[in-house]
């Protein structure tokens, strides 16, 4: 079946360092969405990318959607302790299902 | 606007029993999706309802079912509970129309423990 693979599973960084998580789909996606889940919380929507090659920025966060619409990345510049949590990508398949990656858990050491 | 609400927040059931979980979406949202979240499997899509019709379904056994009411509120039911059904069940609503799923607004979840 359709899968969305996300790496790495865990990332520990020192505050101020950059962080990147990557998503790869086995099939072409209609769109890709990114969510953040804080410990003990629920996923919160961050952004949606629709166009091939699209790049969007939210302050220190940069999101990219690959040219083939099969991969995506989230890059955080100069991490802060408030960035701690699990980041999920979710790809919308051509069957209308939203398929979540396994998530990348980010720990930031102050 | 009030967010997505789910009841109950916590539930403990015994193997073989059944359970019904409830979700009230954000006002005006007609799409409601359900997800199962476990440490080992991540977020797994269960099903999506739009205007009282199941629009999409994940790869879960028939013991998992759901429905949506005319006011967009949704319920999911799990029959003959197994230990492996212990998980956080998340409901998400969306303003998506017929064009596909847009951003999901998640509720706080129902933590189900099966003993």
What tens digit of pLDDT does each residue of B43-64 get? 999 999 999 999 989 999 999 9
- Cα dihedral B80, B41, B69, B52, rounded to 10, equals -110
What tens digit of pLDDT does each residue of B85-99 get? 999 999 999 987 755
Q: Do B106 and A44 touch (CB under 8 A)?
A: yes
Q: How many pairs of residues across A and B have Cβ atoms under 8 Å apart?
A: 55
User: B107 to chain A: nearest residue by CA?
Assistant: A42
What tens digit of pLDDT does each residue of B5-22 get? 999 999 999 999 999 999
Mean pLDDT computed over every residue of chain A: 95
pLDDT of residue B102: 80
Per-residue confidence band for A97, with pLDDT thresholds at 50, 70 and 90 = confident
Strands (DSSP E) found in chain B: 5-7, 10-13, 19-24, 31-38, 42-50, 53-57, 64-68, 74-78, 87-94, 105-106, 110-114
* Average pLDDT of the segment spanning A30-34: 94
């Amino acid at each position: 079946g359709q899968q969305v693979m996300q790496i790495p599973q865990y990332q520990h960084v020192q505050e101020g360092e950059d962080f990147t998580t990557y998503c790869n789909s086995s099939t072409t996606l209609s769109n890709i969405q990114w969510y953040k889940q804080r410990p003990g919380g629920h996923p919160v929507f961050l952004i949606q990318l629709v166009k091939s090659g699209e790049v969007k920025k939210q302050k220190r966060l940069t999101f990219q959607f690959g040219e083939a619409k099969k991969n995506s990345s989230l890059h955080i510049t100069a991490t802060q302790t408030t960035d701690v949590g699990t980041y999920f990508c979710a790809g919308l398949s051509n069957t209308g299902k939203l398929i979540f990656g396994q998530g990348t858990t980010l720990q930031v050491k102050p | 606007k009030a967010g997505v609400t789910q009841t109950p927040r916590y539930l403990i059931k015994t193997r073989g029993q059944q359970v019904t979980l409830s979700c009230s979406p954000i006002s005006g949202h007609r799409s409601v999706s359900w997800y199962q979240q476990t440490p080992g499997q991540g977020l797994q899509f269960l099903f999506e309802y739009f205007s009282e019709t199941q629009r999409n379904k994940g790869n879960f056994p028939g013991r998992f079912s759901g429905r949506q009411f005319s006011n967009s509120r949704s319920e999911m039911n799990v029959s003959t509970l197994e230990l492996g059904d212990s998980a956080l069940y998340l409901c998400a609503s969306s303003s998506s129309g017929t064009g596909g799923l847009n951003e999901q607004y998640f509720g706080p979840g129902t933590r189900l423990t099966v003993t």
